[in-house]
Amino acid sequence: MSRPATVRIVEVGPRDGLQNEPGIVPLAAKVALIEGLADAGLKNIEAGSFVSPKWVPQMADTAEVLAALRPRPGVRYCVLTPNLKGLEAALAAGVEEVAVFGAASEAFSQKNINCSIEESLARFQPVVDLAREKGLLVRGYVSCVLGCPYQGEVPLAKVVEVAEKLMAMGCYEVSLGDTIGVGTPDKARAMADAVAGSIGLAHTAVHFHDTYGQGLANVLACLDLGVATVDASVAGLGGCPYAKGASGNLATEDLVYMLDGLGVETGVSLDLLAAAGRAISDVLGRAPTSRVARALAAKAAA
């Protein structure tokens, strides 16, 4: 299989990135970030989540964020909805897409949501059913696909099984997340190949963390399989909670720079993307973790 000519980037910074911030990011800054990302050409943006503010206070204003965004034809904002209450809030906000999360690690599932993988998936079924009944797209995520902070190795068969169940449940796509960023290219490729062989390449997306600096290499290994949907986070927003001081999500700027160099079309302006990353980084009081963003800033200052 050859590399795809076009890659669809799912921007996760406004949700997966900002929810890991220790403080609350102002509403206006969130809205400006998302608008900037859309201006840069990103068509799929995680805008927030409808979860209990007790557990994720950073996402408590998701409804207000969505209400402040101007409608853009062809741009889809996705929100995380782990339960029916969250889905009802998402429906009231008028979103077109929601997401549910599963884990490939039993230990991770028990530690994080206090139930087994099977129980967690059963909880999601009514959410997916109602979302689809209301005409919404549902995206599925699988965490810990290449390793778990609690149990270590994660069986590949379990990753495939959870992905299959999310598809059978009604998800249109499954994003495979290396939650702690321990994956290396051959392992990433084998994992994505096994899942794609079961649910199909068109339904397979990848989501790598850059904790050990392997994010881009892992993406490239999966591109060579034909995987054409990749998650990334502007400015590298979102640290890795299991590796103190380590970077987390793969930076969208780094991903776009690599894809541009490969001649792979993304529809994303690197300059506008980097500008959005710098703006939110200024709000957070730190430099982007993206190496490309830093290089562009240094070049502009020279």
- 159 within some domain: yes
What SS3 state is found at 189? helix
- 233 within some domain: yes
Which residues are 206's β-sheet partners? 176, 230
Q: Per residue in 219-259, pLDDT tens? A: 999 999 999 999 999 999 997 666 565 578 999 999 999 99
pLDDT at 7 over 80: yes
- 281 within some domain: yes
Which residues are 204's β-sheet partners? 174
- 160 within some domain: yes
- 21 within some domain: yes
Q: Residue 302: which pLDDT band, with cuts at 50, 70 and 90?
A: confident
Q: Residue 104: which pLDDT band, with cuts at 50, 70 and 90?
A: very high
- 58 within some domain: yes
**Greater model confidence, 238 or 12:** 12
Measure the CA–CA gap between 115 and 128, rounded to whole angstroms.
Answer: 19
CATH of the domain at 187: 3.20.20.70
- 3 within some domain: no
Q: How many domains does the chain have?
A: 1
Tokens encoding 189: 């490729």
pLDDT for the residue 199 = 98
Q: Mean pLDDT score of the chain, rounded to an integer?
A: 95
pTM over 0.95: yes
Measure the CA–CA gap between 46 and 16, rounded to whole angstroms.
Answer: 8
Active site residue 144: no
Measure the CA–CA gap between 178 and 104, rounded to whole angstroms.
Answer: 10
Measure the CA–CA gap between 256 and 270, rounded to whole angstroms.
Answer: 7
Q: Residue 1: which pLDDT band, with cuts at 50, 70 and 90?
A: low
Q: How far is CA 207 from the centre of its chain?
A: 6
Active-site residue, selected from the candidate residues 148, 171, 222, 240 = 240
Q: What DSSP letter does each residue of 81-94 carry, written as one string?
A: --SHHHHHHHHHHT
Its domain, for residue 52, covers 8-301
Q: Per residue in 54-66, pLDDT tens? A: 889 999 999 999 9
Measure the CA–CA gap between 91 and 278, rounded to whole angstroms.
Answer: 32
- 2 within some domain: no
